Structure 1
């Protein structure tokens, strides 16, 4: 039996983003597991317009080929980890748009969060949890927050993720919770 698949979604598309650093760090920890398989999904690779379909794909098929490509890709996964920045106390417009441009593909699947920003993207993650509820996702309680001096050191190039080994336990706890929810919800969906 194949392992459940988890999509790690990079939410920032800015040319100067630091998202690649926490994404690679998290991916390196995640792929040490033998019970889940992981793939990084970079929103830069999906040139979706801001949501402009006649309705959510819960009610009407999407028409834009790039949106359909996105829906097919996210539909391949049994769960997700969103690597999120926080812009003005909120998640990025790119991740909100990516979430809005699919619906049925997210349903009854778990989602977890790794956030970075001055407060570790806590406010962005809080908003993403509300969006996930509307998308019929299950938000995993455990999150990883890269904040304060760690975030600013990372942003200014004075620190690397390897300078923050204390975050590894949080990442592993997140992955343990995500694995449990992924397996439980996959079993339920298949029955």
Structure 2
């Protein structure tokens, strides 16, 4: 049996009454029901606003892969997510990042496009396929389950298959030659 992939599930919003809890809860349940993955939640709402707490880098450094759940605010992603991303550097390198986005008619895809640029600068590998929810507020039941979620379930299954492949490939590559030895 293959070793589980350690996935850090990153919440992208800290707003009062945020919908991120609903969307990230759905992602978390998908990860927890999949024997390929072990999941750890990273919520900027639980972190000090001014800087990353001690051990935060180690916590994200243990992750083999990341899934970022982000809303779209003003055609981009939230400031709290930017602060979280910028608080570390080496821990992102040579690891895959998947995205689950939500928002108005664009489903958060403009936020994801901005995040791709940021993660490229950090030497992370972003997955092409995303899971996005346009106007998601009526797509979820109060308990967090999806109404007619076949499209999202299919997209999530594809994303998790790609996430596993990239996580294993990059983990093997990092073991063969640590990325720090070639990254500037």
TM-score band, normalised by shorter chain: 0.7 to 0.9
Structure 1 partner of 2:68: 82
Secondary structure, aligned partner of 2:160: helix
Deviation at 1:154, TM superposition (A): 5.2
C-alpha distance in 2 between matches for 1:92 and 1:159: 25
Aligned 1:119-138 pairs, distance under 5 A: 119-138=106-125
Deviation at 1:159, TM superposition (A): 9.6
| TM-score normalised according to structure 1 size | 0.84
Structure 1 partner of 2:85: 99
Where does the alignment leave 5 or more consecutive residues of structure 2 unmatched?
177-184
CA RMSD of aligned residues (A): 1.9
String of CA shifts for 1:87-110, please: whole Å, max 9, x gaps: 000001011111111000110000
Structure 1 partner of 2:182: none
Structure 2 partner of 1:179: 164
Where does the alignment leave 5 or more consecutive residues of structure 1 unmatched?
50-63
C-alpha distance in 1 between matches for 2:115 and 2:66: 12
| TM-score normalised according to structure 2 size | 0.87
Answer whether contact 2:94 2:125 (CA < 8 A) is retained.
yes
C-alpha distance in 2 between matches for 1:24 and 1:159: 10
Structure 2 partner of 1:108: 94
May I ask how many residue pairs the two structures share in their alignment?
A: 173
